[in-house]
């Protein structure tokens, strides 16, 4: 997809509708979902979604004061990882799974630019379940924005210098009453020492 200051690809039909629905149901049941809190002005605030962190041993991840230790790969996650690695010819050693229970769950503006991810991380983001809006906003040129619809089974790839120049978010939506799982496959190159 055309974007300045980074690279962005979207495969809208990476998984078929039936594969996508089956994978969603498996992951809802299989993964160790949890709701973490972050400190905001010194007070704990529950993150408005559930999450789970899976990966190779030693691939811990820290963001917003939360440190995640990896669960071993589940068979479903490992199969998806292998399929995405084959397509992209890139290795991944961890995945952050986010469960948006309905349109009230969201993620605010941020960049995936933690030191553990390296200089120019390649992140492969698989969407399952309810279609949601994915918004991008340039850090310096705030009027430069882009909004994508991410249907079930779509694979969005962010790469190059994108995390240096762009922020992204998944806003709330009053009309969505179905769950969405997002799997963002990534490579931890400098594990965080907890």
How much of the chain, in percent, has pLDDT values that exceed 90? 85
pLDDT of residue 39: 76
Q: Produce one character per residue of 65-91: b if its CB has 16 or more CB atoms within 10 Å, e if not.
A: eeebebeebbebbeebbeebeeebeee
Judge whether residue 193 has pLDDT over 70. no
Report the domain count for the chain.
1
pLDDT of residue 64: 75
pLDDT tens digit sequence for 106-135: 999 999 998 899 999 999 999 999 999 999
194 belongs to a structural domain = no
- Binned at pLDDT 50, 70 and 90, residue 194 comes out as very low
CATH number of the structural domain spanning residue 123:
2.60.120.590
Could you tell me the two tokens for 65?
């004061």
39 belongs to a structural domain = no
Contact status, residue 188 vs residue 94, Cβ threshold 8 Å: yes
193 belongs to a structural domain = no
40 belongs to a structural domain = no
**Model confidence pTM above 0.95:** no
Could you tell me the two tokens for 21?
């629905």
11 belongs to a structural domain = yes
Contact status, residue 112 vs residue 169, Cβ threshold 8 Å: no
2 belongs to a structural domain = no
Range of the domain at 79: 7-31+47-186
Helical (H) or strand (E) element with 159:
strand 155-159
Contact status, residue 29 vs residue 97, Cβ threshold 8 Å: no
pLDDT tens digit sequence for 40-91: 777 888 999 999 999 999 999 887 778 899 999 999 999 999 999 999 999 9
26 belongs to a structural domain = yes
41 belongs to a structural domain = no
């Amino acid at each position: 997809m055309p974007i300045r200051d980074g690279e962005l690809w979207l495969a809208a039909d990476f998984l078929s509708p039936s594969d996508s629905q089956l994978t969603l149901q498996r992951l809802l049941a299989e993964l160790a979902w949890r709701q973490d809190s972050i400190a905001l002005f010194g007070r704990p605030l529950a993150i408005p979604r559930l999450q789970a962190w899976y990966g190779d041993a030693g691939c811990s991840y820290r963001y917003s004061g939360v440190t995640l230790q990896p669960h071993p790969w589940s068979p479903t996650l490992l199969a998806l990882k292998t399929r995405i690695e084959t397509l992209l010819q890139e290795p991944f050693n961890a995945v952050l799974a986010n469960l948006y229970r309905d349109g009230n769950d969201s993620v605010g503006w941020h960049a995936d630019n933690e030191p553990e991810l390296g200089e120019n991380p390649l992140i492969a983001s698989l969407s399952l379940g309810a279609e949601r809006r994915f918004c991008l906003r340039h850090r310096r040129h705030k009027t430069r924005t882009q909004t994508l619809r991410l249907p079930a089974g779509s694979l969005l790839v962010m790469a190059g210098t994108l995390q240096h120049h762009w922020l992204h978010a998944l806003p709330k939506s009053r009309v969505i009453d179905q769950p969405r799982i997002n799997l963002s496959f990534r490579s931890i190159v400098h594990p965080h020492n907890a």
